[in-house]
Amino acid sequence: MRLKMPIFYSTTHSQKKQSAQASLVPVSLRSKSQKCSLILLGACIPSVALADLKPWLNVVSPEPQFSLDFGANYGVRSGEFRWHVGSAGSAPNILSELEYQGLEFSEYRLYARLSVNQGRLKHWQIDTQLSNASAERGTAIDSDYQQNHREGMYRRSTSDLGGSTSRSQNLSLGYRITPSSLVDWPVLQKFSESSQFTVIPSIGWVFSEQTLKMTQGTQTFATPERGEVLGRFTEALNSVYEASWNGAAFGMVGQIEGNQQTLRIGYQQIFARFRAVADWNLRTDFQHPRSFSHAANATASHLNLDYQWHVNERWAINLRWFHERWISNTGTDTVYLASGERVRSRLGEAGWRSTGYNLGMQMRF
């Protein structure tokens, strides 16, 4: 009994057979554009994509749930600090003023970013950074007045600020938003074909500290009735003014990311508390090491611009520019006398302004 084989009406089998027969042609007769993966007995076997032979190579690795970026930068910054106090009465409104000018720092900066890419917390990220800077040079100017609006100056001295330091810490929580996925604007859609634009609102905490060390004092001006000798101090000046600012920060970052480059601009508005403690070592009528203190509410703004060149998937070169400005409201000046008495007067204003840039490397884990 003979069994009849079923007939399948499909062109797949016949096409493959014809294709195989057509491919086994002498090399000399094949088309110049045809590529061979194997020449067997003078016949050309066409190339086959590796992914066709191994389909698992087409599988794209899923994005990790978390990604961690860590970077280290080195650079320079310049800064200026000032403060003035007024008489406890109505005049003079500026009794004594300190200006710390021409501060030039060398700075180290470390930063890290933890991004959530999947799950309920997708698009959230945590940023933290810290910096430490040491001043190579700078000049302090100490002026005293007898009349309002810096009139009637009766004494002025200068000192060196080498060895002063500045450090800062920053911690923020942000949420990544891609406008092209929310708004169907042709401009955004066209732009997103080659680059990805992201905005990141954030909330966080910022701390900034300046330790200003005054040495090598020089008397540059004194009225005759003061009876003070001009020139270098006869005693060694070693005074310190330590200022700190800390408070809540609200920020916004705009980021453009291409294939190999990323440009990021960020702004923070800060609402802070200002405090300072000073040790005036040549004042025998003051206590030591706490000669006087300052306290006030303050505000600040911080602007930064970052450019990254991605060497590969893990490494990037980072160039950063920044500018920050801190300014206090009217506050309290408390003097601690050697007799144990405390005298309070008005802190007119305190301010810190700094600009810098640094260069470094970033690695993604």
Q: What is the mean pLDDT of residues 266-295?
A: 98
What domains are defined for the chain? 67-364 (2.40.128.90)
- Element (DSSP H or E) covering residue 44: strand 43-46
Q: What is the mean pLDDT of residues 292-314?
A: 97
The answer to whether 264 touches 253, Cβ cutoff 8 Å, is: yes
Alpha-carbon Rg for the chain, nearest whole angstrom, is: 34
Rounded CA-CA distance 94/154 in Å is 13
Rounded CA-CA distance 332/310 in Å is 50
The answer to whether 350 touches 296, Cβ cutoff 8 Å, is: yes
Q: Is the pLDDT of residue 205 over 80?
A: yes
Give the pLDDT confidence score for residue 87 in this predicted structure.
Answer: 85
Write the pLDDT tens digit of every residue in 218-242: 999 999 988 889 999 999 999 999 9
Rounded CA-CA distance 141/136 in Å is 17
Closest to 81 measured CA to CA, from 357, 355, 354, 303: 354
Q: Is the pLDDT of residue 274 over 60?
A: yes
Those residues with Cβ within 8 angstroms of residue 89's Cβ, 6 or more apart along the chain or in another chain: none
Q: What is the pTM of this model?
A: 0.81
Give the pLDDT confidence score for residue 262 in this predicted structure.
Answer: 94
Closest to 237 measured CA to CA, from 212, 211, 215: 215
In 10 A of CB 233, how many CB atoms? 15
- Element (DSSP H or E) covering residue 11: helix 11-23
Give the pLDDT confidence score for residue 89 in this predicted structure.
Answer: 74
Give the pLDDT confidence score for residue 163 in this predicted structure.
Answer: 97
Give the pLDDT confidence score for residue 180 in this predicted structure.
Answer: 66
pLDDT category of residue 19 using cuts at 50, 70 and 90 = very low
The 8-class DSSP code of residue 177 comes to B
Q: What share of the chain is helix, strand, coil (3-state, %, to 5)?
A: 10, 65, 25
- Element (DSSP H or E) covering residue 109: strand 96-116
Write the pLDDT tens digit of every residue in 78-103: 999 999 999 877 789 999 999 999 99
Give the three-state DSSP class for 209: strand
In 10 A of CB 327, how many CB atoms? 18
Look at the alpha carbons of 280, 243, 272, 102 in this order and tell me if their dihedral is positive or negative: positive
Look at the alpha carbons of 120, 128, 357, 324 in this order and tell me if their dihedral is positive or negative: positive
Tokens of 166: 């500045």
Question: Is there a cis peptide before residue 224, judged by omega within 30 degrees of 0?
Answer: no
